[in-house]
Structure 1
Amino acid sequence: MAVLHLVRHGESEWNLAGRVQGQSPEAGALTARGLDQAARTAALLAERHPDAAAIFSSDLPRARQTADVIAGVLGLPVHTDPRLREQDLGSLEGLRFADPLDGGIVQDAIDRLWREPWRRPGGGESITDLYERIHATLDRYAGEHEGRELVLVTHGGPVRVATTTADPRLREPVPRVEVGNATVTTLDRSGRYSPDASR
């Protein structure tokens, strides 16, 4: 099986602004800090995983820009794949996490999606939907690239569902663990993973 290095994108404009990004094309590019994070992660990958054979990236701008920085260091082309996108958060996208919503704030609504993984935000995906999409995608990469190391540039939600031991298909809550910008998580398809320090 392939070894998969999952990279969350660097800090984006909406990360800095505290807005819900999801799949919104308006979430913006990387900030100056995000570019620096991407450069440091690229150096880490070159040092620790010099045999990486390919880079695949979510087609959302913040991920693609991160992948381009990594590609410049590793000397590999970037292949975009919309299956690596963040969860589609529908009507929540663009709102600030601290905005009032339904008697609480937007952050509460997002936390509830992880506790109740069958729940879909208006027009969006549930955590179960995201889990099924990401696991099918990673399994396909592993099957098609046996024995190779791949860099997959993606988002926080996909990294969380890729590494969880919970099964949202069984209505189990999924912990919304912290996934830092431009961090690297290394997976094999036996279910083992290890976070690389990249900051």
Structure 2
Amino acid sequence: MALRLVRHGESEWNLAGRVQGQSPEAGPLTAKGREQAARAAGALAGCGAEAIISSDLSRARETAAIIAAELGLDVFTDPGLREQDLGFLEGRRFSDPLGEGTVQDVIDGLWREPRRHPEGGESILDLYERTHRVLSRYDGRDLVLVAHGGPVRVATTTADPSAGEPVPRLPVENAAVTLLGSFVGK
């Protein structure tokens, strides 16, 4: 039994360098994003998954549909797999000036201080707890979970944000497949 996390393919806002978070305006996958999703499907062929569970955000659902068509699996949605709600940062460019730095600097600071909330959004600790609840719910099943970079990062971290430990904001490529094996929640 294994949980396989897949980040969605490249979206229009990925390409534009905009903060997506949970914004419904983040746009669909680009042509490259659809190709990435098809490659992820190829990598997952024969994996033995029983179903695909996807974030309910459109870029993840579109990625899941491409994978499902290749693997012949049903897709179910779970809002618990959504990206971090980044509040007022959503829609801005990462390079936009904000305070003493840029939007990217603010986002990096959230990962260093996991209890800090962006205005109108959720903290890394909130994201961590939500993601781990979802993973615990599906533990012991063979599934493909289509999500976003934030949930993949907090699912694979060894840091403990509940103790205030910074969580490394490691790169997660679009449509990357991460094998969790049997998940044991913290």
TM-score, normalised relative to structure 2: 0.97
Partner of 1:68: 65
Q: Deviations over 1:7-32 (max 9, x none)?
A: 00000000000000000000000000
Which of residues 94, 102, 109 in structure 2 aligns to 1:112? 109
Partner of 1:135: 132
SS of aligned partner of 2:56:
coil
Partner of 1:15: 14
Q: Does 1:155 align with 2:148?
A: yes
CA distance in structure 1 between the aligned counterparts of 2:104 and 2:184, rounded to whole angstroms:
33
CA contact (8 A) 2:136 2:184 kept: no
What stretches of structure 1 of length at least 5 have no aligned partner? 192-199
Following superposition, the deviation at residue 190 of structure 1 comes to 4.0
- RMSD of aligned C-alpha atoms? 0.9
CA contact (8 A) 2:22 2:86 kept: yes
1:185-196 → structure 2 map (5 Å cutoff): 185-187=178-180, 188-190=182-184
SS of aligned partner of 1:52:
coil
Q: Does 1:179 align with 2:176?
A: no
Following superposition, the deviation at residue 189 of structure 1 comes to 1.3
CA distance in structure 2 between the aligned counterparts of 1:190 and 1:156, rounded to whole angstroms:
20
Partner of 1:195: none
Deviating runs (4+, > 3 A) in structure 1? Answer: none
Q: Does 1:99 align with 2:96?
A: yes
CA distance in structure 2 between the aligned counterparts of 1:9 and 1:115, rounded to whole angstroms:
24
CA distance in structure 1 between the aligned counterparts of 2:39 and 2:175, rounded to whole angstroms:
8
Following superposition, the deviation at residue 38 of structure 1 comes to 0.3
What stretches of structure 2 of length at least 5 have no aligned partner? none
CA distance in structure 1 between the aligned counterparts of 2:164 and 2:135, rounded to whole angstroms:
21
TM-score, normalised relative to structure 1: 0.91
CA distance in structure 2 between the aligned counterparts of 1:44 and 1:3, rounded to whole angstroms:
15
